[in-house]
Amino acid sequence: MTLTNINVSLKVDNLTKQKGLHMGKPALELTGKKFGRFTAIERVEKPKNTKQSAAYWLFECECGERRVRKGSEVARVGGSCGCLKSEVNRKAMKKMQLEKHGTVLDRFLSRFKKSHTGCWVWESHTDKDGYGILPANGPSIRAHRFSFEYYIEPIIKGNVVCHTCDNPSCVNPDHLFQGTVKDNCNDMIDKGRDKIIGSNNNKSKLTESDIPKIRGMDAHNSVIAAVFGVSESTIKRIKNKTLWRHVK
Ligand SMILES: [Zn+2]
Ligand SMILES: [Zn+2]
d(CA 19, CA 21): 6
Ligand nearest to the CA of 79: 1
Ligand nearest to the CA of 81: 1
Burial class (CB in 10 A: 0-12, 13-18, 19+), 72: buried
Ligand nearest to the CA of 119: 2
Ligand nearest to the CA of 163: 2
Highest mean pLDDT among 50-54, 129-133, 206-210: 129-133
Q: Residue 221: enclosing H or E segment and its boundaries?
A: helix 221-228
What percent of the chain lies above the pLDDT cut of 70?
79
pLDDT of residue 209: 84
Q: Pick the closest to residue 19 from 32, 29, 6, 5 (CA basis).
A: 29
Answer whether 107's CB lies under 8 Å from 135's CB.
yes
Q: Pick 50 or 182 by higher pLDDT.
A: 50
Q: What is the mean pLDDT of residues 122-126?
A: 95
Distance (angstroms) between ligand 2 centre and the Cα of 123 equals 13
Q: Residue 47: enclosing H or E segment and its boundaries?
A: none
20 pLDDT more than 60:
no
Distance (angstroms) between ligand 1 centre and the Cα of 87 equals 10
Q: What is the mean pLDDT of residues 188-215?
A: 63
Distance (angstroms) between ligand 2 centre and the Cα of 192 equals 18
**Is 96 strand, coil or helix?**
helix
Q: Residue 177: enclosing H or E segment and its boundaries?
A: strand 176-179
Sequence-ordered alpha helix ranges (H) in the chain: 3-19, 71-77, 83-101, 104-109, 143-151, 185-191, 210-216, 221-228, 232-239
Across 12-21, 92-101, 157-166, least confident range: 12-21
Mean pLDDT across the chain, nearest whole number?
79
Ligand nearest to the CA of 120: 2
Ligand nearest to the CA of 84: 1
pLDDT of residue 64: 93
For residue 15, what are the CA distances in angstroms to 20, 42, 43, 81, 228?
Answer: 9, 20, 17, 26, 90
User: Domains in the chain and their CATH numbers?
Assistant: 3-83 (no CATH), 104-204 (3.90.75)
Q: Using one digit for the tens of pLDDT, what is the confidence trace for 58-88?
A: 999 999 999 999 999 999 989 999 888 888 8
Distance (angstroms) between ligand 1 centre and the Cα of 74 equals 14
Q: Using one digit for the tens of pLDDT, what is the confidence trace for 81-104?
A: 988 888 888 888 777 766 666 788
pLDDT of residue 196: 44
d(CA 239, CA 159): 25
pLDDT of residue 169: 96
Distance (angstroms) between ligand 1 centre and the Cα of 152 equals 41
